[in-house]
Amino acid sequence: MAGRGRGAEEGEGATSNVSERGLFADVPYAEPVLVLSPAPQSGIELLQPGNRVPAPIPTKAPVRRIHASLRRLSGPAVRRSLAAAAGTELDRGMGFLLVPAFLACGVIFYFSLATEPDFYRPVAVVALTAACAVASRSWQRTHLCFMAALLCALGLLAAKIETWRAGTQMLGSEIQTRLTGRLASLEEMENGRVRLTIDVISTARPKLRYAPERVRLSARKVPPEMTAGSLITGYARLLPPTGPVRPDSYDFSFDSYFSGIGASGFFLGNPKTVASKSGAGEDAPSRTRLVSAIENARENIADHIRGQIGGAEGEIAAALMVGVRAGIPDEINEAMRRTGIYHIISISGLHMALVAGTIMGLLRGAFALFPDFASRRPVKKYAAAAALFSIAAYLVFSGIVVAAERSFIMLAVMLVAVLFDRAALTMRNLAISAIAVILVSPHEVVGPSFQMSFAATAALVGAYAGWSDYRAGRATSPPPRRSPLAFVTRKFLLGMGGLAMTSIIAGGATALFAIWHFQRVSPLSLFANLAVMPIVSGVMLLAVISALLMPFGLDWPSLYLMGKGLTAMIAISEWISERSPVDAVGLISIQSVLLVTIALVIATMATTWLRLAAVPFALAGLLTVSNTRTPDVLISEDAHLVAMPIGGSELAINRVRSNEFTTDNWKRAVKSETIVEPEPFEKGDARFDMDPADLPPGSPFYCSAGLCLARHPSGAIVAYAEDRKDAWRACAFATLIIVNDATAYDPCRNPLVLVVKKRQLARLGSAAVFFDQQSAIAPAEIDFAIEQPYRPWHEQRRFSREARGLPPYKTPERQASKQSPPPQ
């Protein structure tokens, strides 16, 4: 029986060690090799019977061999080599690996369209390409091209279906109303407020004709009995979803549309609970009651963790275990972002893998205590099944956020592969999970989470496969006997080296995506990850143990140790963050990101010499990184905030109190470090009556009586006016005028003066302005964040008061006859 057990274990291990690409050998011409001379024979071979000593080689022989080698690199030979390598790649499954890539191309094409296509167009494209693919089956190359086109068309159709299925009704204009709804979730924020997600049931005073179905509001405090599933009511100010804070940045209305959030805002008072007629929550649908019960369980677990650990450590522990992270202090969030370890907060692949690995390790260790049972049963499959159940429960109790959902699909595919005796860590399994995510949530393809997650995973899987092939081709000898200290030291160094390589590979694969989306990098992320990841692994092990012991009330020792580990992690991240250089890197071109993405796909999926095709794409991507121009002026979509880089890593703004999120994004985009606030002047101050031409280049904003003036380093003068009358005063000298008045028209009527009105910004979103660097009087160029005609996630913009050229809404005043006493 013992021998049978060893054979079973070897069989299990053998499956995971098989290199699938090794099942298909290279065919002739797959690897072009330049051979200048034949390999010399050894003297022993020359002395063998039957071997003749070769005659002296004529002096022209090397020339002939060079010519022969050059003929091998001729057009026909290269074509044969290319065809052979392509055939080998197809035999090894390259065609299936490219399926998610082509689906993603179709999705990206859909979301980059200028207008919304009708439903029949994607359907017609799919039908046409499918018919062409079927008709071209006899011609392999043509058939492959049509199959690629069919996959792109399917990605386009999937994105269109998701957009139609979402159909989120979004608020068009700011309004105050009494709202009644059912609480979906409740989060305590770091600033002391409470964020509530509410499914709207009714509105009153006024009753909204096109009320959103779900809103997200904040409140100062809520009744203690308020939980998920409660009916609540309160007077609230609803705000429409905002657009990008600058052109080519993250679109919040796009995210709100696909998340089902039709409006945001805040309660003007404290919300109250409403007793339902049939009891608390009993009139809700079964699905709603189930979701509410899970949400309440999450909150109870989070409260228990916070109570046991306390402080910022308790908030991070709650984020790691149940995904509740709104209470983490902002300074700790920023420290982890600067050091490149913020990925440990968002429940994603790292957490799912640690949970699955911990469960499998604990169970296989427990099974090892019973050798008779372990030798007769496939204990590895039992452990994989338990790990699959564990990460499914982890997904549910973490809130089923998109990053966790995607990671669950990836790990579930790998664990199911273990159940069916297939290799788990393969590019094919990654492709299956990518296909599932793309078909379920196509909009995630254009988001940073999908791109960075799959880029890092593909790079790691590809590097692991390449390293496995390299080791498989080497002759290994039994390791020498080492002392216990030497053994432990070697294992530690190998572990740290593997961790360093993992961080380098994943960081290199995701660097350009991070720069494109966030305009920042973490220069010391390698050191931070090396220092923190061992602690995080121990913390996640304690988290799993705490979850197992929590129902029995025995989790306090593990939670205590978990808190101490998080204290060390916070201290390390803050120490490294204080010594980290400025991480803002500015804007990069989208062409660079696309080229590097193509290079990454080729390098990670190809297995023959065709992987060298990634080199020119990578070089082209790196050479075009800076092929974009930094804006000279940035304008917010509500026309309240204007910013202008004035040199010396300084960013001048027109308001003392500004939106911190917007200014932080602008600082990173233009590579500024310091905010320069405006200098106000009292009305009638003679210093403000200076000739604007005397303003020094790179001056901050000087504000007085509804008008702010500043001078760009190029010499162009920027004016910000509160209404049309103030703007008229700047027409004689300004290059750019921003008017914070929706009713205003162009007061200058001068083609050399660019006038940006609030109505334009309400319709087209935030703006970036570019000056002519050669002439301060040349007309400026402007780029808006949103184009017309609107896509579905921007349709609500046309209904705002500002977009219609109306002034802000004012509550009607009571009639004077009701306010004054009657005449005597």
What is the CATH architecture of 175-274? Beta Barrel (2.40)
The pLDDT tens digits for 599-634 are 999 999 888 888 889 999 999 998 988 878 899 999
More confident residue, 696 or 4: 696
Q: Does residue 112 surpass a pLDDT of 90?
A: yes
- Grouping H, G, I as helix, E, B as strand and the rest as coil, residue 77 is helix
With cut-offs at 50, 70 and 90, classify the pLDDT of residue 256: very high
**Cα angle: 255, vertex 256, 262; to 5 degrees:** 170
| Highest mean pLDDT, choosing among 40-54, 232-246, 324-338, 514-528 | 232-246
With cut-offs at 50, 70 and 90, classify the pLDDT of residue 276: low
With cut-offs at 50, 70 and 90, classify the pLDDT of residue 761: very high
Length of the chain: 824
Q: What are phi and psi of 404, to 5 degrees?
A: -70, -35
The pLDDT tens digits for 640-689 are 999 999 988 899 999 988 888 899 999 999 988 889 999 887 665 555 55
Cβ-in-10-Å burial (0-12, 13-18, 19+) of 578 comes to exposed
> Can the peptide bond before residue 62 be classed as cis, meaning omega within 30 degrees of 0?
no
Provide the pairing of β-strand 736-739 with 754-757: parallel
In the block, residue with structure tokens 């009704």: 169
- Domain residue ranges in the chain: 21-38+62-165, 175-274, 303-470+487-578, 590-623, 633-799
Q: Cα 60 to chain center, whole Å? A: 62
Other beta carbons less than 10 A from residue 404's beta carbon = 22
More confident residue, 95 or 19: 95
Q: Does residue 747 surpass a pLDDT of 80?
A: yes
H or E element that contains 296 = helix 286-309
Residue 480: the pLDDT is 75
Q: HSE of 158 in the Cβ direction (CA atoms, 13 Å)? A: 26
What residues contact 794, with CB distance under 8 A and at least 6 apart? 243, 253, 786
**Cα angle: 487, vertex 488, 493; to 5 degrees:** 100
With cut-offs at 50, 70 and 90, classify the pLDDT of residue 813: low
Residue 57: the pLDDT is 46
Q: Does residue 245 surpass a pLDDT of 60?
A: yes
The pLDDT tens digits for 279-289 are 445 566 787 88
* Token output for 487: 């053994």
Q: Give dist(CA 304, CA 546) in Å, integer.
A: 11
Residue 811: the pLDDT is 63
Q: Give dist(CA 63, CA 198) in Å, integer.
A: 81
Contact status, residue 300 vs residue 318, Cβ threshold 8 Å: no
**Which of 156-170, 318-332, 347-361, 529-543 has the least mean pLDDT?**
347-361
Nearest to 741 by CA among 642, 808, 659: 808
Residue 647: the pLDDT is 85
| Residues of the chain above pLDDT 90, percent | 37
> Can the peptide bond before residue 206 be classed as cis, meaning omega within 30 degrees of 0?
yes
More confident residue, 319 or 690: 319
Residue 425: the pLDDT is 66
Q: Quote the pTM value.
A: 0.83
- Grouping H, G, I as helix, E, B as strand and the rest as coil, residue 501 is helix
Q: What is the per-residue DSSP string for 229-290?
A: T-EEEEEEEEEPPP--SSTTS--HHHHHHHHT--EEEEESS--EEE--TTSTTTTS-HHHHH
Q: Does residue 588 surpass a pLDDT of 80?
A: yes
Q: Give dist(CA 279, CA 379) in Å, integer.
A: 48
State the greatest distance between any 2 C-alpha atoms of the chain, in Å, as a whole number: 141
Residue 73: the pLDDT is 60
Q: HSE of 40 in the Cβ direction (CA atoms, 13 Å)? A: 4
How far, in Å, are 158, 740, 789 from residue 782 at the CA level?
34, 17, 18
Residue 8: the pLDDT is 41
Q: What is the mean pLDDT of the chain?
A: 83
The pLDDT tens digits for 34-84 are 444 444 444 434 444 444 444 444 445 555 665 555 555 667 777 888 888
Residue 690: the pLDDT is 56
Q: What is the per-residue DSSP string for 18-41?
A: --GGGGSPPPTTSS----SSPPPP
Residue 33: the pLDDT is 42
Q: HSE of 579 in the Cβ direction (CA atoms, 13 Å)? A: 9
Contact status, residue 726 vs residue 705, Cβ threshold 8 Å: yes
H or E element that contains 419 = helix 402-419
**Which of 410-414, 431-435, 509-513, 574-578 has the least mean pLDDT?**
410-414
The pLDDT tens digits for 471-513 are 776 666 677 777 888 878 888 888 888 888 888 888 888 888 9
H or E element that contains 596 = helix 590-605
Q: Does residue 254 surpass a pLDDT of 80?
A: yes
